[in-house]
Amino acid sequence: MDTLEKKLTEVKAVFWSIKLYKVILDLLVGFIAGAIVFQILRFNILFAILPAAIFAMLELLREYLKRDMMGNLHGRYDNLEERLKTALENKDRRNIIVSDLVGDVSQRMDGIETSVFFRKRDISIRVFAVLISCFILLTVTVLDLRNLTLDSLKRLLEDPSVRGTLDNLLGDGRGELEMFMGGEHEKSNWTSSEEKKKLGSEAGGETPGYNEGPIAGQGGGKGYETGADIFGDAQSASLFGKDVDFNLHPEYGGDIEIRETGGRAKVKRFDIDEVQSVEECAECVVGPENEEVVRNYFELILPGS
Amino acid sequence: MATKKSGGMSLWESVDNEPKAEAPREPADPEMAVDLKKVYSQMKSTYADVKSEVSRVVVGQNDVLEQVLVAIFTDSHALLEGFPGLGKTLLIRTVSSIMDLKFRRIQCTPDLMPSDVTGTYIVEEDSAGKKRFRFEEGPVFTNILLADEINRSTPKSQSSLLEAMQERQVTIGGTTHKLDRPFFVLATQNPLEMEGTYPLPEAQVDRFLLKIMVGYPSPAEENKIVEMYSSEFVPRVNKILKREHVLAIQDLTKKMPIAADVREYALRIVEATRPTNPKNAIANKFLDYGASPRASIGLVLASKARALINGRNYVSSDDIKAMAHPVLRHRIILNFESERKGMSADDVINQILKAV
């Protein structure tokens, strides 16, 4: 065996030992992953060696077919691939250029660092996968997932120590955990009609934080700045800087849509004939003191006024 | 000059039925004449020296110089094409000057006769008053032949170069005269003024290993050219390559090893120029005819020479890529589609290089 082939054999040995290491790691990952599945399915985990071995064999075959030793060298060592191939294919020729090339390649191969074949990322990922899958396998084995049911999970959550921990994790714990577990608190909040009346925009919300308007206890719409738009919440509007209470009667004019855009009002589906003054409509809340203001407003926004 | 000295010859001696081949006058084995190892080890510096000497006269054109040297070191011929005034003739003259070789020039014109190229028999009277025919060698009996504006000579005169270029011999009057080694034809032509020209036949173009395109210099180079040639400057170059050196380098070129992969890459490129193969989409789309196996030989040989002059001991795929244009551009024939699209042979070769 000549010098060149001897050096090539050495490099190949390093290359294949690193590949083998990678395949062994793959085998481990495959075995542990299989063991986790087998453990859950209540099989003997030793059977997991079979799919792992098949996977490792296929991986080894793939590496063998790929044989990218030259590819690994190419990126790091400029044109060594072409030099090496040329030298190997022509080593039997006797001329000064070939002799020079063989010597040159042998010298370059001495300088090859084994790290060129060692892909740090690939190996790191595999080692990490082995660690994680080991942890999962241990967890699965200790927890005995075969007996894990929804009831057992519930019992676990009701355990005072677990519950305390979860409460701490979820803030003050008021409601959230009970809600999760379907407790009494949830029922009293959302099914009591007594409480419901006091919530939301209709009632103004006695319970702090529930759709309360800027003026506490005055309703959800009360106190909002409505500008020139009489629509806010249905109960009030600000016309010419004066707050006016309204009662809307859909039976008189159907829906009223008045929106002011760019200083001009657009009136849709609104018939002035349907509007009645306080004298004609005893039910209307707009009192005589506000009648003029309301009239001025509608005169202002009417088309052609 | 050819070493054949045909000397005096009687008329009937010259009309023998069978051509008489003279004994080959091969030079001594170059490996014996010069130390090949030394020539090889100095190859890179030799090329640097050649560039340095040429740059005294010709500014820029490094690629052109490299390709001319590739043609010379592969014992082949080159055709230089470019607009007038770009220094084609000057470059060839300068390259000839730095080599200790015989150099002759033919200025091709429509009235150039084949005998003006190859030589002819002339009647000569000896001291005894007897008239004899004597062969007067033409300019083809040299080492470097510059055929300037070759497309201006008639096809008949152009053809007179064919045998000399391919066989390295000239047959006149039934006698074959071997040409001296090395022998290479460096021809020039310009793409303008096509009126009154005779485009080289395909068979003859194929005999040129390379078709070298000479382009315009860069502004900085042109500035230097103007500075040099508008002063009292008289360019002089030294002879740095002896005939034996040139022969030794030609020998080394053939010894240059090449990997099978790289050789196959060259073959794939040449194959991709052939529209006869339905798989060659680019060739089918843009070419009428592809390159011949002579192109494959030329591409590998030129790549070997390029590797050698750059001081390498192997041929890389970069050499193949670099030599693909000069080797192939005159060997492929564009079809109507490529002409319609205004594509040149180089554009098609670029596409082929990308695809292969």
Instruction: With cut-offs at 50, 70 and 90, classify the pLDDT of residue B10.
Output: very low
| DSSP code string of A127-146 | HHHHHHHHHHHHHHHHHTGG
* pLDDT exceeds 70 at position A250: no
Specify the residue for token string 């006769």.
B113
B165 pLDDT tier (thresholds 50, 70, 90): confident
What are the two backbone dihedrals, phi and then psi, of residue A266, each rounded to the nearest 5 degrees? Answer: -115, 125
Nearest to B314 among A86, A93, A96 (CB): A86
* B117, B144, B203 from B152: Cα distances, Å: 14, 20, 17
Predicted pLDDT at A145: 62
Q: Is the pLDDT of residue B8 over 70?
A: no
pLDDT of B350? 93
Which DSSP letter does residue A12 get?
H
Per-residue pLDDT for B6 more than 50?
A: no
pLDDT digits 0-9 by tens, A149-183: 777 777 777 777 777 777 777 655 454 555 555 44
Decide: residue B16, CB within 10 A, 0-12 exposed, 13-18 middle, 19+ buried.
Answer: exposed
Asked if A83's CB is within 8 angstroms of B37's CB, the reply is no
Query: Which residues from B are below 8 Å from A100, CB to CB?
Result: 40, 313
Given a cut of 90, whether residue B16 has pLDDT beyond it is no
Q: Which residue of chain B has the CA closest to A103?
A: B313
Residue B81 contacts residue B191 (beta carbons within 8 Å): yes
- Collect all residues of chain A within an 8 Å Cβ-Cβ radius of residue B258: 86, 90
| Helix or strand run (H / E) with residue A21 | helix A3-40
Distances (CA, A) of A123 to A55, A129, A135: 17, 10, 19
> What is the spatial distance between Cα B27 and Cα B251, in angstroms, rounded to a whole number?
12
Is residue A271 scored above 60 in pLDDT?
no
Q: How many helices (H) and strands (E) does chain A have?
A: 14, 4
Asked if the Cβ–Cβ distance from A86 to B40 is below 8 Å, we say no
Residue A67 pLDDT: 66
Q: In this complex, is the C-beta atom of B320 within 8 Å of any C-beta atom belonging to chain A?
A: no
List the single residue in B260, B313, B316 with the smallest CB-CB distance to A100: B313
Residue A217: predicted pLDDT:
56
* Best CA proximity match to A266, nearest among A229, A240, A211, A215: A229
pLDDT of residue B303: 95
* Prior bond of A288 cis (ω within 30°): no
CB pairs under 8 A between A and B: 52
- CB-CB under 8 Å, B40 with A85: no
Q: Tens of pLDDT along B197-231?
A: 888 888 778 889 999 998 898 899 888 888 888 88
Give the domain ranges of chain B.
Answer: 1-9+22-255, 256-356
Residue A248 has what pLDDT? Answer: 55
| A86: nearest CA partner in chain B | B259
Q: Would you state the pLDDT for residue A148?
A: 66
The string of pLDDT tens digits covering residues A28-68 is 888 888 888 888 877 888 888 888 888 888 888 887 777 66
Predicted local confidence at residue B24, as pLDDT: 43
The pLDDT tens digits for B286-327 are: 999 899 999 999 999 999 999 999 888 899 999 999 999 999
Radius of gyration in angstroms for the set of CA atoms belonging to chain B, rounded to a whole number: 22
Task: Quick: pLDDT tens for B244-294.
Answer: 888 899 999 999 999 898 999 999 999 999 998 888 889 888 999 899 999
Cβ-proximal residues to A163 (8 Å cutoff; 6+ apart), any chain: A157, A177
Question: Above pLDDT 90, what percent of chain A?
Answer: 0
Does the pLDDT value for residue B151 go beyond 50?
A: yes
B233 at interface of A, judged by CB pairs closer than 8 A: no
Residue A197 has pLDDT above 90, yes or no: no
Fold exhibited by the domain B1-9+22-255: Rossmann fold (3.40.50)
The pLDDT of residue B296 is 94
Is some CB atom of chain B closer than 8 A to the CB atom of A159? Answer: no
User: Which of these, B294, B316, B296, lies nearest to B307 by C-alpha position?
Assistant: B316
Show the tokens assigned to B348: 């098609």
ipTM given for this complex: 0.75
Homologous superfamily in CATH for domain B256-356: Magnesium chelatase subunit I, C-Terminal domain (1.10.8.80)
Spatial distance between the Cα atoms of A226 and A241, rounded to a whole number of angstroms:
10
